Amino acid sequence: MPTIETRNNAKIESINRINREIDIPLDLEGNPMKVSDFYGENLFNVATSTDIPEVVRKEIIEVTCSGKRISKDHADVVANAVTKWATEKGATHFCHWFQPLTGGTAEKHDAFLTIKDGRPIEKLSVSQLLQGEPDASSFPNGGARSTFEARGYTSWDLTSPMFITEGPNGKTLCIPTAFVSYTGEALDIKTPLLRSISKLSKEATRFLNLVGSPDVTRVDTTIGCEQEYFLIDKDFYYARPDLVMTGRTLMGSSAAKNQQLDDHYFGRIPDRVMGFMQELDQELYRLGIPAKTRHNEVAPGQYEIAPIFDVANVAADQNQLLMATIRAVAAKHDFVAILHEKPFAGINGSGKHVNWSMSDSKGNNLLEPGQNPHQNLQFLATVAIVTEAVFRHATALRMGIASAGNDHRLGANEAPPSIISVFLGHTIEKIFDAINQGKEFTGNDGDTFLETGAQQLAHLMLDNTDRNRTSPFAFTGNKFEFRAVGSTAAVGFPVSILNAAVADVYKESADFVESEIKAGASADQALMKLTTKWVKNAYNVIFNGDGYSEEWVKEAEKRGLPNLRNSAEALKVLKNPSESAFLTETGVYKRSELDLRYEVLAERYNTHREIEFKTLLGLVNQSVIPSAIDYKQQLGEVIARQKSINLECSVETEIYKKLNFAMESLYANVCNLTTAIQGLKGTTEEISDRIANDLFPQSEVIANFCAEIESIIPDDLWTLPKFQEMLFLR
């Protein structure tokens, strides 16, 4: 347990740190290189590699778009080219890099070194490129061990580029892969994401082909992830066992000043943080991750980075790499990056706003309101389809963002509630209102819209880029922003659910317009009729007001919108056939995969919470109570001395009583929680329910008493770094 010295040293260390100087890439004359000159140097680019002949390049592009398999001969060419490239850059090892259900990434390294005819050479064989065999039983598999064989396979994902990571003393080539069990069950995040991308492409393409774009051959999902995080000095971090063990502070008295003045958001970036951000951007550029935006976030000590969007599979991999890079670069600057959704109670938590859209094979963004009436109608229909998808599959979308960490954030400070609603902005809302009421929509300058096909939508939308930061799912001009996703999330999971939901509605929409057109309707008439159908059906999910307000919770209940308040509730959607059927019907998940995800995610929720409880109890028993006893001792001595000379000591007695009461209440709750933990038995679901409904609220009561004690006892008796120090000293 930390002592007063630990805390004081941390303060001194953090204030006196010398800013790290970073090596900026220089050209031959010693001038700083432009970013475009070193961008992607650690990324293996099939398109520009001179060791890959045109036929192979063509096949790879075809395979990437069609999901077919690459021929072994051509894979061999790639294996040789990438070996040459990576070893020339100093890589000694390669690994299959994948995203198991832990939410992080996994890698097992092998050396390029091979002995051939008694001589050492560097080689990556074609079979090593195509497939790996990690032991599946050591990764979360939801008890699948008994039914599946323990063997698991990683297989090369051609659609995401290979890259080199640099350790302190060497480099490794990472090959993005999918991870499946012996019997073909997806044990990872990527496999279902890839399926969802294909499925959405198929359904959306069919739809577009029917309604006036016959030459569209494919639709890509595009995502851009805005990543929020906190930076705190490493000495504070290591002096807070709760941060080390659980990623968040389990207790703490709020600082007098936190974010009330709104002075941090977009404020000047402190030099030490700026140094970190510059090095982070540089590392990301090397990896071909197009970091674009960096700024202070709302809470003190909180920051954001956003790269330029890409196709979903690549962007999802990049986000994993980005999180790892944030952590690694932070350490070089003696910071610890905290990616938890709610590291400090009382101030903003961190999200990962996933900006989502679709782009057709001609490069058109399907959520861009076009310039002519037909495009406008197609755009409105697309918005209506997505709105219907979110309405219809709200519980599944809520499930997709469920985690112990995100439970703290949803519905708390500046975070969207657990109720999934859609914000559309002023213009579309007006149009949808009119559609819902069966009226014609009249534009600002008097032109009718619906009759003529929403003529000036693009123009009108320009003036309506207003933002609603309180919505979990907001339309922001030419894309939707899924704001409820947690900062630590592996985005491939929620995006796979969203894609499946939208694909589900696209399928019905294509069937609908097909029959309308067969019955003699024009494409535009069919689009209008479809839009009306979905707007009327999904009208209740549209909400443009303040999503953070209590009134909304009540209003949403009246509207019949689901409100799954915690992960224990939300994850059950995976086991509920009616709510998850679309995931199997679209082929994005198999039933067995949903079952195993329930087990893995619920168990992870339980384990996270159990670790938190045990850490909290340890802190109370070994730090909070001893500090409180020390103060009682001091007070007791004063009270006794005053009494011995017949002096009143009402102040000391008052404080003593207050402290004593807080301690007694704290201890009673500690005993209850300790007993409750010992009594945790039953199925994963039973344990989840008990934790969410019973134990977790108890732990919050304990945290509140700890905060009260912290605010009573003298600063020099408190051993844990305080919020104000962690958040403000650097």
Shortest approach of ligand ADP to residue 311 CB, angstroms? 9
Query: Under rule CB under 6 A, how many of the chain's residues touch ligand ADP?
Result: 17
Q: Does 479 bind ligand ADP (CB under 6 A)?
A: yes
Q: Which residue is nearest to ligand ADP (CB)?
A: 224
**Residue from 223, 326, 338, 503 binding ligand ADP (CB under 6 A):** 223
Q: How far apart are CA 706 and CA 254, in angstroms?
A: 12
**Residue from 224, 301, 425, 492 binding ligand ADP (CB under 6 A):** 224
* Beta-bridge partners for 219: 360
* Span near ligand ADP by CB under 6 A; candidates 256-264, 343-351, 425-433, 473-481: 473-481
Q: How far apart are CA 91 and CA 396, in angstroms?
A: 42
Find the binding residues for ligand ADP in span 280-299 (CB under 6 A): 293
Find, among 405, 730, 681, 390, the residue nearest to 567 by Cα.
405
Shortest approach of ligand ADP to residue 520 CB, angstroms? 35
Q: Does 355 bind ligand ADP (CB under 6 A)?
A: yes
Q: Which is nearer to ligand ADP, 155 or 378 (CB)?
A: 378
**Contact call for residues 600 and 140 (beta carbons, < 8 A):** yes
Long-range contacts of range 562-566, CB-CB < 8 Å, 24 or more positions apart?
562/394, 562/395, 562/398, 562/419, 562/420, 563/417, 563/418, 563/419, 564/395, 564/398, 564/399, 564/402, 564/418, 565/407, 565/411, 565/418, 566/402, 566/407, 566/418, 566/692, 566/696
Helix (H) or strand (E) run with residue 116 in it = strand 113-116
SS3 339: coil
DSSP 8-state assignment for residue 624: I
Q: Does 374 bind ligand ADP (CB under 6 A)?
A: no
- Ordered DSSP codes for 395-423: HHHHHHT--HHHHHHTTSTTS--SB--BB
String marking each residue 296-335 x if it binds ligand ADP according to CB under 6 A: ----------xxxx--------------------------
**Residue from 213, 357, 387, 684 binding ligand ADP (CB under 6 A):** 357
**Contact call for residues 503 and 585 (beta carbons, < 8 A):** no
Residues 6+ apart with CB under 8 A from 525: 516
Parallel, antiparallel, or unpaired: how do β-strands 91-98 and 170-181 relate? parallel
Shortest approach of ligand ADP to residue 354 CB, angstroms? 8
* Span near ligand ADP by CB under 6 A; candidates 158-166, 332-340, 475-483, 678-686: 475-483
Q: Does 362 bind ligand ADP (CB under 6 A)?
A: no
* Span near ligand ADP by CB under 6 A; candidates 263-271, 385-393, 476-484, 626-634: 476-484
Q: Which is nearer to ligand ADP, 306 or 424 (CB)?
A: 306
Shortest approach of ligand ADP to residue 495 CB, angstroms? 11
Shortest approach of ligand ADP to residue 48 CB, angstroms? 23
**Residue from 141, 213, 222, 246 binding ligand ADP (CB under 6 A):** 222
User: What one-letter code names the amino acid at 230?
Assistant: F
Q: How far apart are CA 300 and CA 303, in angstroms?
A: 9
Q: Which is nearer to ligand ADP, 226 or 612 (CB)?
A: 226
Q: Tokens 């970036």 label which residue? A: 269
Shortest approach of ligand ADP to residue 623 CB, angstroms? 41
Q: Which is nearer to ligand ADP, 227 or 532 (CB)?
A: 227
**Contact call for residues 503 and 203 (beta carbons, < 8 A):** yes
**Residue from 476, 592, 699, 719 binding ligand ADP (CB under 6 A):** 476
Q: Does 14 bind ligand ADP (CB under 6 A)?
A: no
Q: Which is nearer to ligand ADP, 502 or 574 (CB)?
A: 502
Residues lying near ligand ADP in the complex (CB under 6 A): 222-224, 226, 293, 306-309, 355-357, 365, 476, 478-479, 481
